[in-house]
Amino acid sequence: MTVAEWCVFASLMLSLLSIASVKWLRHGVFDNSRPRDPAFYNDPIAARAFGAHQNGLEAFPFFAAAVLLAEFRSSPQNLINELAVLFVIVRIAYVFTYIGNRPTLRSILWSMGFVINIAIFFLPGLRKLLPI
């Protein structure tokens, strides 16, 4: 497996860990028999962690498709890897800013992640223009 493919896995795990960690930390409050109980998400941190989780699930398909498309279309693997690692780093920072209630920085990081995804997605078309 390539580094970028491991980053696809890391991206999925990050979205799951963003909510699982809050459920674990609030284990006395979280009721696993009612995992979607709206009362649990009345807590501001739990609500933001849930938002980060949902956004991670929303961002995942495009990231996975972009990486696989770039790999299948023979884009430079080292560039795919570097952009994928950068995407995961940006997403980690995004989760922390989401849970930490930093909406402006969170929006900037979301935009950066989206631009990175666009770059990965269009790598096959730009292959001839790259000096690699």
Q: Would residue 45 count as lying in a domain?
A: yes
Q: Residue 47's domain is classified under what CATH number? A: 1.20.120.550
Instruction: Output the CA–CA distances (angstroms, integers) from residue 71 to 13, 43, 54, 125, in the order listed.
Output: 21, 42, 27, 12
Name the DSSP letter for residue 42: G
Residue 131 lies inside a defined structural domain of this protein: no
Q: At residue 8, does pLDDT exceed 80?
A: yes
Q: Please compute the mean of the pLDDT values over residues 5-23 and round it to a whole number.
A: 94
Q: What confidence score (pLDDT) does residue 131 get?
A: 67
Total domains in the fold of the chain: 1
pTM: 0.91
pLDDT of residue 102 exceeding 70: yes
- Contact assessment for residue 96 and residue 51, using Cβ atoms and an 8 Å cutoff: no
For the stretch 44-87, pLDDT in tens is: 999 999 999 999 999 999 999 999 999 999 899 999 999 999 99
Q: Are 68 and 80 in contact (CB under 8 A)?
A: no
Question: What mean pLDDT is predicted for residues 98-105?
Answer: 96
Residue 15 lies in a domain: yes
Residue 132 belongs to a domain: no
Largest pairwise CA distance in the chain? 56
Domain of residue 10 covers 3-29+40-126
